[in-house]
Amino acid sequence: MNQKFGIKQVVAIGIGTALFIVLTNAQVPFLIVPNTALQSRVAVLTFFSAIYGPVVGAAIGLIGHALGDALFYGSIWWSWVFPEAVFAIAVGLFSAKYKVKAGGFGGKEIVLFNVVQIIGNAIAWILCAPVLDILIYAEPAGKVFGQGALAFVGNIVVAGVLGTLLLVAYSKVGAKSGSLTKEN
């Protein structure tokens, strides 16, 4: 499904990025710490990565985060742009296994998706983001690891709850593969 990079992938990157940018503004702050909130755009990124695979996911993460930050905040925090792509790649790598389009996103797939999602978020926000913050911006370690941990918690909630629900719903909309029965 994801082997070919065709027209659909190009358009998916475009529209996915537009969604991601628009939803930059729709977030629920849960503590007064800069740059941490329940970001609804994470659900979109998770959804597109799970359906269209790592390349589309990474592109939406990179372009969407950079453009979204620039358009809404006027500055780009590069050390948080790249972890977004890391997360999308992690989720996207297993996209064929979730069987979303084939209509088979059920119990086993949901567990797999959530395990991948949590590991991906951990690598991205507990490891990559703080380390890049320290390397690029020389910010104090305590602060950035604190922010990273909060982002990690917020993102696994959004990806786990909204992401899972969206994928289940979308999986039901499409026709199940092998759902046709032969008439005698």
Partner 1 sequence: MAGSRLLTYKEKDTWIHRLSGVTKMLFFLLWSITGMLTYDTRVLLVMLVFSFVIFWMSKTEWKQVGTVFKFILFFLCLNLLAVYAFAPHQGTEIYGTMTVLAFSGRYSLTAEQLFYEFNIMLKYLTVTPVVLMFIVTTNPSEFAASLSRLGISYNVGYAIAIALRYVPDVQADFTKIKHAQEARGIEMSSKTSLWDRLKKMSMIIFPLLFSSMDRIDVVSNAMELRGFGKHKKRTWYMGKKLALNDYLTIAFVVVFMVAALTITFSHGSRFYNPFV
Per rule CB under 8 A, is residue 150 in the interface with partner 1?
no
Please report how close the Cβ of residue 57 comes to partner 1 at its closest, in angstroms: 13
Contact 16, 56 (CB under 8 A): yes
CB 48 within 8 A of CB 83: no
Q: Tell me which of 1, 111, 137, 177 binds partner 1, using CB under 8 A.
A: 137
Is 168 one of the binding residues for partner 1 (CB under 8 A)?
no
For the chain, the maximum distance between any two Cα atoms, rounded to a whole number of angstroms, is 72
Stretch that binds partner 1, among 87-95, 106-114, 116-124, 167-175 (CB under 8 A): 167-175
Segment holding 23, helix H or strand E = helix 7-23
Angle, helices 40-52/78-93, rounded to nearest 10 degrees = 40
- Is residue 142 close enough to count as binding partner 1 by CB under 8 A? yes
Q: Which residue has the tokens 């797939």?
A: 109
Closest distance between partner 1 and the C-beta of residue 181, in Å? 27
Provide φ and ψ at 39, rounded to 5°: -95, 120
A 10 A CB-CB count for 11 gives: 11
DSSP 173: H
Question: Could you give the string, one character per residue 93-112, with x where binding to partner 1 holds by CB under 8 A and - elsewhere?
Answer: --------------------
> Phi then psi for 36, rounded to 5 degrees?
-125, 130
- Which of 104, 114, 127, 170 is the binder for partner 1 (CB under 8 A)? 170
Least gap, CB of 166 to partner 1 (angstroms)? 6
146 lines the binding site for partner 1 (CB under 8 A): yes
Query: Is residue 72 involved in binding partner 1 (CB under 8 A)?
Result: yes
User: How many residues lie near partner 1 (CB under 8 A)?
Assistant: 60
Distances from the Cα of 123 to the Cα of 16, 84, 119, angstroms: 23, 10, 6
Q: What is the contact surface with partner 1 in residues (CB under 8 A)?
A: 5-8, 10-19, 21-23, 25-26, 28-30, 32-34, 38, 40, 43-44, 47, 59, 63-64, 67, 70-76, 78, 136-143, 146, 157-158, 161-162, 165-166, 169-170, 173
